[in-house]
């Protein structure tokens, strides 16, 4: 935990003496976390370690207790991470920006549009279905009709946004569908094709149509992947494949667009209480039972509003990734270690195999969610 780098080779950020910063300070940075409000926190054990090792004999001037030490450390860490670069806060602000959200008529898309508007953005939502009559009582939000599976539709929607608002700074590719649980063997090819059309081609169409304007604005892109991009997708393999594709798109675009100062944020959510989850999980006992085979700690659900808040927070900081609930971050980080073991356990679990047999009897019944 203390590392091997000699003290005299470590920087002394924030005015800390080099010999008092030491290797435990480096360890604390590695274990620092950032909460939803963008505040950097360090686990209590790490701060206690710093306090015990350095705030005694080599105390920082003016630091009288651990709470003050924490505040000093947070300030130092922010400077160390470059969080206070001149102009960065203004560049990352949402206020006054123009955003486009696909699949924005309801659920997570609508919640994200409302959150962006609350931060001062001008928002356009694109959906094949109109929002409910009282969904948006907000002059900052405009609804457009468009199908993400049609590049012509998305190009037309983007041009309408630019004509009305003068530019496009933010695009959020949120539109997506799932299918009722079934094995690949009995899944309808037409259903799989439609799912890929929406979840993969729809995201690509959204990016293609908006990219010239996003590059002009040094703007921001958010892609909605899922924890299913890295957990076993048995029972919903086409959906998991589509979200893995979106993950790869996000990672690649972040590199390709770096020279244009365009940020790409990939969001990974687990269960969000939306119509899609209710139709694909809650109304399907077999799908629910398969989900229950995962460790209990991973069963937590979040609301669309919580997910929207996470998206906008990540967007404002131009983060590469947003993961909610946060506990899924460990599964993502350790996927290379966990995946093989989890796959083997699921393959050998009699209860899981019984559920798979149920899904295997659904010939042609894997209809898409709305």
Is 132 among the residues known to form the active site? Answer: no
Residue 52, token pair as written in the block: 């015990």
* Residue matched to tokens 């997708």: 233
Q: Which of 24, 180, 187, 243 is catalytic?
A: 243
Q: Are 234 and 182 in contact (CB under 8 A)?
A: no
Helices of type H across 125-217: 151-165, 189-196, 202-216
Q: Which of 239, 242, 263, 316 is catalytic?
A: 239
Q: Which of 143, 187, 226, 263 is catalytic?
A: 226
* Integer CA distances (angstroms), 168 to 3, 214, 219, 249, 255, in order: 46, 6, 8, 20, 21
Which H helix or E strand runs over 281? none
DSSP string covering 67-89: HHHHHHHHHHHHHHHTTT-TTHH
Rounded to 5 degrees, φ, ψ at 66 are -65, -40
Q: Are 178 and 369 in contact (CB under 8 A)?
A: yes
| Cα–Cα distance, 202 to 105 (Å, whole number) | 16
Question: Per DSSP, what are the bridge partners of residue 170?
Answer: 99, 220
Is 239 among the residues known to form the active site? Answer: yes
The helix, strand and coil proportions of the chain, stated in percent and rounded to the nearest 5, come to 55, 10, 35
Is 243 among the residues known to form the active site? Answer: yes
Q: Give just the sign of the alpha carbon dihedral 101, 106, 111, 117.
A: positive
Burial class (CB in 10 A: 0-12, 13-18, 19+), 297: exposed
Catalytic residue numbers read 226, 239, 243
């Amino acid at each position: 935990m203390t590392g091997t780098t000699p003290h005299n080779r470590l920087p002394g950020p924030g005015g800390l003496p080099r010999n008092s910063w030491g290797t435990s300070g480096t360890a604390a940075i590695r274990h620092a976390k950032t909460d939803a409000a963008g505040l950097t926190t360090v686990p209590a054990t790490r701060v206690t370690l710093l306090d015990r090792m350095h705030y005694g004999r080599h105390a920082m001037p003016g630091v009288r207790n651990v709470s003050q030490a924490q505040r000093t450390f947070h300030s130092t860490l922010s400077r160390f991470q470059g969080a206070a670069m001149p102009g960065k806060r203004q560049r990352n602000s949402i206020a006054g920006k123009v955003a486009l959200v696909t699949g924005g008529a309801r659920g997570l898309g609508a919640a994200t549009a409302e959150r962006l508007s609350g931060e001062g953005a001008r928002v356009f939502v694109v959906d094949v279905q109109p929002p409910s009559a009282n969904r948006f009582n907000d002059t900052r939000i405009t609804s457009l009709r468009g199908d993400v599976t049609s590049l012509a539709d998305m190009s037309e929607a983007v041009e309408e946004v630019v004509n009305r608002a003068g530019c496009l700074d933010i695009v959020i590719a949120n539109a997506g569908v799932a299918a009722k649980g079934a094995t690949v063997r009995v899944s309808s090819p037409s259903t799989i094709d439609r799912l890929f059309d929406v979840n993969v081609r729809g995201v690509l169409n959204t990016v293609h149509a908006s990219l010239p304007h996003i590059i002009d604005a040094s703007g921001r892109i958010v892609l909605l992947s899922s924890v299913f991009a890295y957990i076993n997708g048995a029972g919903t393999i086409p959906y998991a494949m589509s979200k893995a594709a979106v993950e790869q798109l996000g990672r690649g675009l972040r590199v390709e667009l770096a020279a244009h100062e365009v940020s790409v944020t990939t969001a990974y959510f687990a269960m969000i209480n939306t119509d899609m989850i209710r139709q694909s999980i809650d109304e399907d006992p077999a799908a629910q039972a398969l989900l229950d085979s995962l460790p209990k700690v991973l069963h937590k659900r979040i609301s669309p509003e919580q997910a929207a808040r996470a998206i906008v927070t990540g967007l404002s900081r131009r983060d590469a990734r947003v993961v909610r609930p946060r506990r899924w971050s460990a599964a993502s980080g350790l996927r290379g270690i966990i995946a093989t073991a989890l796959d083997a356990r699921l393959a050998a679990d009699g209860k899981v195999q019984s559920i798979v047999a149920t899904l295997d009897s659904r010939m042609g019944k894997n209809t898409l969610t709305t």
